Chain A
């Protein structure tokens, strides 16, 4: 099966770093996911995931990171 690579760049002024980390951990079972912090952004790279799932996984991971950011913002953290 073909494998694909997907990248997402989160602006850490809009996304909490802890939320991005939580999203990476939540989706770790779906592929090899790495996060690198550079220049006020968190660059998430998803590897070894089936190409037909890569796009959905990228969107779901981003959604989860935003959801967690909203939860943290609501609780004042």
Chain B
């Protein structure tokens, strides 16, 4: 167990594994999944529910690992967990702003271009004017004898 349980994540070291309990009110399931998603290549993970609103995470090292390595693994997971929680909170707090921006981009009157407007723009162009003579056939332009 961690000796500074109040300021650090309390964890239990096992044989090649480290386990810790998370309160779901502080660390929602989605945050745990987000962190787990990034750790499946580093460790074997397993989730259990030791009691209501608690999730126990067990990280088992894929290779033989000593106590410092397991402690570092638990610390890295805890950091990523916190990162996921913050991302989730920022995402939730800016959701309405994102929706508003998206709605303006798609449905705002300023950026709206109708098919009729595009056809009118094409009609307005002087298609007959061809200063570079791109539409003149090669033989007419005098290149046939080359």
Given A69-B33, A70-B36, A71-B37, are A63 and B48 neighbors across the interface (CB < 8 Å)?
no
Known: A13-B49, A66-B47. A59 touches B60 (CB 8 A): yes
A15 to B29, CA, bound (A): 10
Q: Using a CB-CB cutoff of 8 Å, which residues 1-50 of chain B contact chain A?
A: 29-30, 33-34, 36-37, 40, 44-49
* Residue total for A at the interface (Cβ-Cβ under 8 A): 15
Cβ B29 vs Cβ A73 within 8 A? yes
Complex alpha-carbon distance, A63 and B46, angstroms? 7
Please give the number of chain B residues whose Cβ is less than 8 angstroms from any Cβ of chain A in the complex.
Answer: 15
Whether, in the assembled complex, B74 has its beta carbon less than 8 Å from a beta carbon of chain A, the answer is no
Judging by beta carbons under 8 Å apart, are B55 and A67 in contact?
A: no
A60 to chain B, nearest CB (A): 7
Task: Mark A residues whose CB is within 8 Å of B.
Answer: 11, 13-15, 59-60, 62-63, 66-67, 69-71, 73-74
10 pairs from A and B in contact (CB 8 Å cutoff): A11-B49, A14-B29, A14-B48, A15-B47, A62-B46, A66-B36, A66-B40, A70-B37, A74-B34, A74-B37
